[in-house]
Structure 1
């Protein structure tokens, strides 16, 4: 079971990272153009965003499964908890970005791109913290 969770965790990390980089680059171009993105770009960004959100959820589920299945939570040191702060700093903005994008999709309006950019930056910072302290905590 632990091996399966690790495999899911690694694939989710890959998918989430790819989604973050891909949508980040597209968002930068959309903001720079100061115009609505072509429909194909908007649709692609929507799909990439949903993949990224799904990946973050799978990261959390597989990570919790690995941690609970293998460690005494009370015995984990401070580096693990800093890693969890980083992971939370990914989950919250990605969830907010997904909600903003879905609302914009339903209403046919353009999402607040500056807010999306800010949330993306917070999420990327969380990724850095989660990876660095995850490596330190489980080394």
Structure 2
């Protein structure tokens, strides 16, 4: 069971980080895309964003389960808590991105591209820091 949870955790990490990278590339291309292509590209980024948000939810579920199976939160090293702080920030950014996307879909207008790009870059840096602190926390 532990190994299965760990596999799901790592695959979810790949989907989340890969989705963020893909959306960054698509978003950058969208600015120069013809007007007719923008709704199609926006639909793709929305789908990838929802998949990434789902992956983040799975990371929370599997992460908590893994912690509980390895001695609980009290047994976690200091760098785990640093990593967890970045996970909380990433989760809040992800919620904000989803809210902007939902609001845009309901109004029939694209979300604010500049804000989406800034939040996306922030989330990418945050994700890298999460991986760095996870490695430090669990390989010491």
TM-score (norm 2): 0.90
Corresponding residue for residue 138 of structure 1: 138
Q: Give the Cα–Cα distance (whole angstroms) in 2 for the partners of residues 64 and 72 of structure 1.
A: 9
Which segments of 5 or more consecutive residues in structure 2 lack a partner in the other structure? none
Which segments of 5 or more consecutive residues in structure 1 lack a partner in the other structure? none
Q: Give the Cα–Cα distance (whole angstroms) in 2 for the partners of residues 83 and 37 of structure 1.
A: 38
Secondary structure of the residue that 1:138 maps to in structure 2? helix
Aligned length: 139
Corresponding residue for residue 112 of structure 1: 112
Instruction: Show the 5 A alignment for 1:1-139.
Output: 1-32=1-32, 37-139=37-139
RMSD, matched Cα: 1.8
Secondary structure of the residue that 2:31 maps to in structure 1? helix
Displacement after TM superposition at 1:109 (Å): 1.1
Displacement after TM superposition at 1:82 (Å): 0.7
Q: Give the Cα–Cα distance (whole angstroms) in 2 for the partners of residues 98 and 37 of structure 1.
A: 22
Q: Give the Cα–Cα distance (whole angstroms) in 1 for the partners of residues 75 and 107 of structure 2.
A: 48
